[in-house]
Homo-oligomer: A and B are copies of this chain.
């Protein structure tokens, strides 16, 4: 029987050889990495070109993942499979044909919104949520056709529920936590989590401090107890990890995420004027070498081995297997 996979459902680090080596040191088999926020198609392609250079330069550490079978390849060859995702649909511009083009280039996840209204749906920071737009429904159908996961991590509630209903494949919320545990705007209500679980969708638990009870001071025990309770809400097969690790990023990057080119003002997103940058991570998870602590924490919270294996990667592996092929 092959070893249980270790998969992270979302990272956006300031990538470097150091971080790729930490992935190996931590035994991470696959990571969904964000390659684009507000970038146009052409700018997104430039980001893929940069990834191509990393793949060429560090072939012993990382390679591009296209299908769930690449997780097996990663395990057999001792490398980390990198799966691409977009946190905003800017990369498809107003052109549905770019969904397939970006899938051909390896994009496997795309958020329909990033906080704001997009051409496709409503973001979680808008006052009014009008659900999926006309183009949104067309693009979800196209994403279903080619095998690109609808990710609603930064979307508003009605839009999220409509995406779950409209999509013919299970969708994902790759990085968020239950609102009942920590009432951040980005965290999700039990209604959303139940609808997600009932359709075979996945939630990735975030370790971004603004998503955590008590922020950076959140204890591992609290985080793992929250996971155990969410397993009861959604089903133990529909949950995984999505750390939202933004390691080594300068504050200019958090500003690009939040502000892009859409305003001339500053928007602090989940931060504040007093706390504008990346908050420090909790001491029990600083980088890719520390997934073992989460596994230990889940054991201490009383979850059984199969459930823990599912949360740490096997659930994502199964989800990838029925999500990425046309």
Q: Point out residues on A near B: beta carbons under 8 Å.
A: 41-42, 45-46, 48-50, 52-53, 95, 97-98, 100-101, 104-106
The answer to whether B100 touches A45, judged by C-beta atoms less than 8 angstroms apart, is: no
- Chain B residue numbers with a CB within 8 Å of A95 are 46, 49
The answer to whether A41 touches B45, judged by C-beta atoms less than 8 angstroms apart, is: yes
Report the minimum CB–CB distance from A215 to chain B (whole Å). 39
Partner of A97, one of B46, B97, B101, B106: B46
Q: Tell me if A's interface is mostly helix, strand, loop or mixed.
A: helix
Q: How far is the CA of A41 from the CA of B46 in the complex (A)?
A: 12
- CB-CB nearest 9 A-B residue pairs: A49-B97, A52-B100, A104-B105, A45-B101, A42-B42, A49-B101, A48-B101, A104-B104, A52-B97
The answer to whether B97 touches A53, judged by C-beta atoms less than 8 angstroms apart, is: yes
The answer to whether B101 touches A105, judged by C-beta atoms less than 8 angstroms apart, is: yes
Partner of A98, one of B49, B50, B53, B100: B49
Copies of this chain: 2
Q: With contacts A42-B42, A49-B97, A104-B104 known, what are 5 further pairs, Cβ within 8 A?
A: A48-B101, A49-B100, A52-B100, A53-B97, A104-B106
Partner of A42, one of B41, B48, B52: B41
What residue in chain B is nearest A45 (Cβ atoms)?
B101
Report the minimum CB–CB distance from A146 to chain B (whole Å). 9
Q: How far is the CA of A210 from the CA of B52 in the complex (A)?
A: 42
- Chain B residue numbers with a CB within 8 Å of A101 are 45, 48-49, 52, 105
- Chain B residue numbers with a CB within 8 Å of A53 are 97
Sample 20 A-B pairs with CB under 8 A, ordered by A number: A41-B42, A42-B42, A45-B98, A46-B95, A46-B97, A48-B101, A49-B95, A49-B97, A49-B100, A49-B101, A50-B97, A52-B97, A52-B100, A52-B101, A53-B97, A101-B105, A104-B104, A104-B105, A104-B106, A105-B105
In this complex, the member of A45, A46, A53, A95 whose beta carbon has the largest number of chain B beta carbons within 10 angstroms is A45
Q: How far is the CA of A324 from the CA of B177 in the complex (A)?
A: 45
Report the minimum CB–CB distance from A138 to chain B (whole Å). 14
- Chain B residue numbers with a CB within 8 Å of A52 are 97, 100-101
What residue in chain B is nearest A41 (Cβ atoms)?
B42
- Chain B residue numbers with a CB within 8 Å of A104 are 104-106
Report the minimum CB–CB distance from A54 to chain B (whole Å). 12
Report the minimum CB–CB distance from A325 to chain B (whole Å). 15
Q: How far is the CA of A7 from the CA of B172 in the complex (A)?
A: 44
Q: How far is the CA of A272 from the CA of B138 in the complex (A)?
A: 48
Q: How far is the CA of A100 from the CA of B45 in the complex (A)?
A: 11
Report the minimum CB–CB distance from A43 to chain B (whole Å). 11
What residue in chain B is nearest A46 (Cβ atoms)?
B97
In this complex, the member of A41, A52, A95 whose beta carbon has the largest number of chain B beta carbons within 10 angstroms is A52
Report the minimum CB–CB distance from A105 to chain B (whole Å). 6
